[in-house]
Each structure stands twice: as structure tokens, then as C-alpha cells.
Structure 1
Amino acid sequence: MSELLRRVAAAADLCLKPHRHAAVLRSGSPDLISLESEAGQAGEECTLRLLCRRADGERAEQHDIELEIYRSGGDLHLMLSWPEQPDQPLLWQGNHPVWMDGDSGQRCERPATGAGLEALARRLRALLSPDR
């Protein structure tokens, strides 16, 4: 499990520069996000928190990311949000990205800071879906 969390944090570091990240399990089954292909059907959902630090090591809570991972059928879906920035939209990533208003659930435009989050979502789907 710790290897997987390290790889998720490394993906966030790459996509969301210059910040550095640590990934921690918040809830759910870690079996859902196992790197082993046969473990993918074990859990229903899992939530990680990506804790953010600036390049100088200072905590930057406003840039923390909540990552919800769940499977529907054989497909992996991700929901990413900035919990300390409730005015920002959520990113749902399945086969393609969909930005949604957190209050209404309606589709909306990608925010100016959204490109890095989309890149992270694509990278995580590739990391967590070894059969792809």
C-alpha cells in the first residue's frame, strides 16, 4: 500500500509543479486501488487526500486535493476536488474529463487552474488501471 501511495504522490508532484505532495488513505478499501490487476474488483470506493506543500516545505492546505476512486462495472472513475476551495468545481474523470459545479452538479467550464488536475487524473487512471 505504501508503494502505491508513494506513486500517487509522485504523479501529483509531476502534474502539479512546483508543489510537493503526500498521499494518505482517508476511507474505503485500499484493495480497490491495488496495483495488481486482479485486485480491482475488491472494494467499492476509496478516498485519498493529497496533502500539499510548497517547494520550500511550508504546508499549503488550500491546494490539498481529495481523490475519490470508485469502479462502475469494469471501469475506473475518479473524482478530484480542492476541499479547502469549495467555490472551485469538481473534476470527474472517466473516459473523459467532466467539470461540475460542486453545489448543483451541473457541467461547467474548466477553471484556469484545471489543466494540471486533468493531467493528474489521466496519469492516475493509467497508474491504477494496469489492464489498460
Structure 2
Amino acid sequence: MDDLKPSLAVLICSAADVCRKPLIHALVLVDQQFSADQAPMLSTDSLQAMIDLRARLECRDPDGSRCSEQDLELEIYQSGDDLNLMLSWWNQTDRPLLWHGQHPVWMDGDTGKRCSAPNDGAPLEALARRLRVLLV
């Protein structure tokens, strides 16, 4: 029966698909070095396997065309006993980024100072909330 559990990668992409309709997402690991026994980490249901993850959520439109300007960077890491998420637009440091721990905080991508949410920030906040519910 465990074989029927969806992988964490599928759960993350499904959450992104729901929160950022009509975009379709794929998860691509970034800068990860895994040994052979860690390679299937995204096909487990272990939160411990997700700590210190950095990935890109690649986007396509419903017709399958790439929408690289909509790609997101996702970082999941533990700080103390809390799980934190960072979401930002991939390679767009001029755009604000979202840190989500106990609550969401928007920060300037260049300075790291707190700022107001961008006009298109609501779907990212929804995604961060949904991911925290899935992972905590």
C-alpha cells in the first residue's frame, strides 16, 4: 500500500498547480549532492528528507510551452524546531521574495529588507501555506 503514496515532489507540484493556475509545475533539484541511498528522497514521505532542499519549480502553460519567467525557487529548511520556506522568482533578484515560517514576510530581493507584497504575490503566499500544511 505504501507504493501508492504520492511522492513529495508530486505533492509540491500539485500544490503549485492548484495555487498558480493555469500553470503546470515540475520540480527540479538545484545544487544537491546525494549519495545513492539518498537519491530517491523525493519519493519518500519523510519530512527529514526534505530539510535543506533547494529546488526550482519550472512552469509550463496548459499547452506545454515553457513559461520560464514564472519559474520559482523553493528553499525548505529547518531553523530550530520550525520549518521555513523561501519562495522567489527564479533569477529575478529585483522581485521580492517570500519567507514563510510561522507567518509570511515579503523581503526585497536585493537588500533583504521587509517590503510589501507584490501585486502577484497572493498565489505564492497560498502555495507557501499549502506546503507548510503538507510538510509539517
- TM-score, structure 1 normalization: 0.85
The alignment covers a number of residue pairs equal to 126
- What are the superposed Cα offsets for residues 33-57 of structure 1, whole Å, 9 maximum, x if unpaired? x633xx53x6751101101001111
- What are the superposed Cα offsets for residues 80-101 of structure 1, whole Å, 9 maximum, x if unpaired? 0002432210000001000000
Tell me, in whole angstroms, the C-alpha distance in 2 between the residues paired with 1:115 and 1:27.
Answer: 28
Tell me, in whole angstroms, the C-alpha distance in 2 between the residues paired with 1:57 and 1:43.
Answer: 28
2:8 maps to which residue?
A: 4
- Structure 2 SS opposite 1:23: strand
1:66 maps to which residue?
A: 73
**Structure 1 residue 74: Cα displacement:** 1.2
Flag the 1:124–1:44 CA change in 2: closer, same or farther, 3 A: closer
2:126 aligns with one of 105, 119, 123: 119
**Structure 1 residue 24: Cα displacement:** 1.8
Q: Is the 8 A contact 1:11 1:124 kept in 2?
A: yes
**Structure 1 residue 73: Cα displacement:** 1.1
Runs of 4+ in 1 over 3 A off after TM superposition: 27-32
> Gaps spanning 5+ residues in structure 2: where?
1-5
Q: Counterparts of 1:1-132 in structure 2 under 5 Å?
A: 3-28=7-32, 35-36=45-46, 39-40=47-48, 45-129=52-136
Q: Which has the larger radius of gyration?
A: 2
- Structure 2 SS opposite 1:13: helix
- Structure 1 SS opposite 2:30: strand
- Structure 2 SS opposite 1:70: strand
Flag the 1:4–1:44 CA change in 2: closer, same or farther, 3 A: closer
The code of the aligned residue for 2:45 comes to L
How many percent of aligned residue pairs carry the same amino acid? 54
